Chain A
Amino acid sequence: MGFYIGRRLLQMIPVFVGATLLIYAMVFLLPGDPIAALFGDKPVNPGVAAQLRAQYHLDQPFLIQYLLFLKGVFTLDLGNTFSGQPVIDVMARAFPVTIRLTVVAIIVEAVLGIVVGLLAGLRRGGWFDSLSLFASLLVIAVPIFVIGFVARYVFAEKLQWIKASVGPDPTWGQLIIPGIVLGSVSFAYVLRLTRNSVAENLTADHVRTATAKGLTPGRVLSVHVLRNSLIPVVTFLGTDVGGLMAGAVVTEGIFNIPGVGGTLYQAIIRTEGATVVAFVTVLVVIYLVVNLLVDLLYAVLDPRIRYV
């Protein structure tokens, strides 16, 4: 087990370096001068520009810039935004909000998706199955920003349950509706995965054996059907964490939540390279760690899987 985790951690290194290099190249190698953009419509003062360039290492060759950035990542010095705040402070404000939003979304999609998917899979071809499959297709097909507008319109403007603009330091209660919107598409995928997986496992030999040896239906269902059916679902939830945090760009924009998505989007539009790269790096690390955890969870769900 320890050896397996060590090997996986080693495998993460090239992916981490590759992904950050990719993002770094996309932000800094492509045309467009962020320093010139900083001056806006005013004429560029060459002295100030040169000083800023030196401060952000923009005068160095690309690879040196990248290596300096990597050094910064490991010493937790991610540079400053163009307005002078340390990027790490901006992160400390944005990440707690988005993590809360993502937790709401994951709870919604995992709990609701697995329960509805289980009920649908148990009666495959029944009316509940058809209804939930159709509903899930609808949720996947309608773009998330349309779901967001409609939710904001209904819950904030018509029913007045929530404020249309969430603002800084949101409470859990304020994040419920945005969290449901964020998790809605993944909810549909979890539902369909669970449903297919349960329907397939119901006809498996080990389930027939479990029933034949006289186990109660509840135990057959929870231990023999559901536990085995959860493996693809857990895989999906793992890869989805990164997607949810990125999807927050849209959801946070609609409900005006000052989280990772909103901050990152502003930084991209203003070509604040340091902020963009730092945020995306953290998102990539979160993605890699969650996927490692998911692989370790397999062994818990399926005792046949042993890591050596």
Chain B
Amino acid sequence: MSDTTVRPGQEHFVAPLEETPLRAVDAVDDSAPPSSQWGEAWRQLRRRPLFWASVVLIALVVVVAAVPSLFTSTDPRFQTLADSLGDPREGHPFGFTRLGEDVYARTIYGARASVVVGLLSTVIVTIVGGVVGAVAGYYGGIWDALLSRISDIFFAVPLVLGAIVLITSLQSRSTLTVSLVLSLFAWPQTARIMRGSVLQTRSAEFVTAARALGLSRVQVLVRHVVPNALGPVIVIATISLGTFIAAEATLSYLGVGLPSSIVSWGGDISAAQTSLRSAPQVLFWPAGALSITVLSFIMLGDVVRDALDPKARTR
């Protein structure tokens, strides 16, 4: 290194430091504790207004579903035929249904059926689909072949169609039976996603390391594979919560969902179609409430997906 003179033709071009991304690399504090996948996702989410908008909407719907009496003191089942399809007036801001029920009270009380069916179905589908997918993906071989064929069978029957056929054979219908029927035909999708995600995680080095450290296969699956493979499943769970609410409404609309003794948006929309011309507000409010609820869950799923996907983190 003694001869520092550069002869012609031997110049090496070195970019000035500020034109290279090296500073950003130097600025990374490598003594800081490593942030987890979830910590990173949360930092992303916190900055998205869409995330907060959907969280606020979902919180509102859940509160309405839990304690509807906070929002109205009118009985949603009280009928005054003199008010049939009546216009809004003092104390009844959304007007009246054909049977003279208060539309506002029915819209408030209808939230519970939708939220309960949505939550129940999502929990069942996530647990069943998650377990089946994890076992199929992790153990492979005969387990994979068997479980994948079984989920193919349920996947081949369209959700709403299978639900209609099964539900018409049932004697009693409640939020629980509707959720179970929807779950029966919806779990294969979650199982497929979980299986794919586990297959990717299974070959990671930390999984081999955990096995080498002497953990049993089950321990590795539960402690290392599943937590790292859960991202896509959580995204699909959030989105399908909205889909289940819409599916329940479709069943109620077809007259095979919840019985009319349970106030539900789907049933109200179905009843409102005969009065669409004379009193569109009777259709508008339950349909609007249903749409906003479905919309907020789908939006939440979208932003969570973006936050969990490092490739989408361009901003």
Does any Cβ of B come within 8 Å of A280's Cβ? yes
Contact, CB under 8 Å: A269 / B168:
yes
Contact, CB under 8 Å: A22 / B298:
no
Contact, CB under 8 Å: B166 / A26:
yes
Contact, CB under 8 Å: B156 / A287:
yes
Contact, CB under 8 Å: A145 / B250:
yes
Known: A157-B277, A268-B164. A137 touches B157 (CB 8 A): no
Q: How far is the CB of A213 from chain B (nearest CB, A)?
A: 25
Does any Cβ of B come within 8 Å of A64's Cβ? no
B219 surroundings in chain A (CB, below 8 A): none
Chain A 30-65: CB-based contact to B (< 8 A → 1; otherwise 0)? 111000000000000000000000000000000000
Chain A 89-100: CB-based contact to B (< 8 A → 1; otherwise 0)? 000000000000
Does any Cβ of B come within 8 Å of A176's Cβ? no
Contact, CB under 8 Å: A280 / B161:
yes
B273 surroundings in chain A (CB, below 8 A): 145, 149
B276 surroundings in chain A (CB, below 8 A): 149, 153
* A-facing residues in B257-306 (Cβ within 8 Å): 266, 269-270, 273, 276-277, 283, 287, 290-292, 294-295, 298-299, 302
Known: A245-B158, A288-B156. A31 touches B299 (CB 8 A): no
Q: Residue on A with the closest CB to B247? A: A143
Question: When the two chains form the complex, which single residue of A32, A140, A153, A246 contacts B158, counting CB atoms closer than 8 Å?
Answer: A246
Does any Cβ of A come within 8 Å of B242's Cβ? yes
Contact, CB under 8 Å: B291 / A19:
no
Contact, CB under 8 Å: B299 / A242:
no
Does any Cβ of B come within 8 Å of A247's Cβ? yes
Contact, CB under 8 Å: A138 / B295:
yes
Give the A interface residue count (CB, 8 A). Answer: 45
Contact, CB under 8 Å: A143 / B249:
yes
Does any Cβ of A come within 8 Å of B23's Cβ? no
In the assembly, what is the distance between CA of A283 and CA of B165, in Å? 14
Contact, CB under 8 Å: A142 / B291:
yes
Contact, CB under 8 Å: A145 / B253:
yes
Q: Residue on B with the closest CB to A133? A: B302
* B-facing residues in A195-251 (Cβ within 8 Å): 200, 242-243, 245-247, 249-250
Contact, CB under 8 Å: B156 / A143:
no
Contact, CB under 8 Å: B169 / A27:
yes
- Among B165, B171, B291: residue with most chain A CB under 10 A: B165
Q: Residue on A with the closest CB to B294? A: A141
Q: How far is the CB of B192 from chain A (nearest CB, A)?
A: 11
* B-facing residues in A123-170 (Cβ within 8 Å): 137-138, 140-146, 149, 153, 157
Q: How far is the CB of A83 from chain B (nearest CB, A)?
A: 19
Contact, CB under 8 Å: A143 / B287:
yes
Q: Residue on A with the closest CB to B150? A: A18
Q: Residue on B with the closest CB to A285? A: B156
Q: Residue on A with the closest CB to B157? A: A19
Q: How far is the CB of A205 from chain B (nearest CB, A)?
A: 14
Does any Cβ of B come within 8 Å of A15's Cβ? yes
Known: A137-B295, A143-B290, A265-B254. A249 touches B160 (CB 8 A): yes
Question: When the two chains form the complex, which single residue of A19, A146, A269, A276 contacts B156, counting CB atoms closer than 8 Å?
Answer: A19
Contact, CB under 8 Å: A143 / B291:
yes
In the assembly, what is the distance between CA of A252 and CA of B137, in Å? 40
Known: A19-B157, A23-B157, A284-B156. A141 touches B150 (CB 8 A): no
A153 surroundings in chain B (CB, below 8 A): 276-277
In the assembly, what is the distance between CA of A246 and CA of B157, in Å? 9
- Give the interface of B toward A (CB within 8 A): 149-150, 152-154, 156-162, 164-166, 168-171, 242, 246, 249-250, 253-254, 256, 266, 269-270, 273, 276-277, 283, 287, 290-292, 294-295, 298-299, 302, 311
15 extra A-B contacts, CB within 8 A, seeds A19-B157, A149-B273 = A27-B165, A30-B169, A138-B291, A141-B298, A143-B246, A145-B253, A242-B156, A243-B159, A246-B158, A246-B160, A268-B164, A271-B168, A280-B157, A287-B158, A288-B156
Which A-B residue pairs are the 9 nearest by beta carbons? Answer: A246-B158, A18-B153, A30-B169, A141-B295, A246-B161, A141-B294, A141-B291, A19-B156, A146-B287
- Give the interface of A toward B (CB within 8 A): 11, 14-16, 18-19, 22-23, 26-27, 30-32, 137-138, 140-146, 149, 153, 157, 200, 242-243, 245-247, 249-250, 253, 264-265, 268-269, 271, 276, 280, 283-284, 287-288
> 24 A–B contact pairs at CB < 8 A?
A11-B149, A14-B149, A15-B153, A22-B153, A23-B162, A31-B169, A31-B171, A141-B246, A142-B287, A143-B266, A145-B253, A145-B273, A149-B283, A242-B156, A242-B158, A246-B158, A250-B250, A250-B253, A265-B254, A268-B164, A271-B169, A284-B156, A284-B157, A288-B156
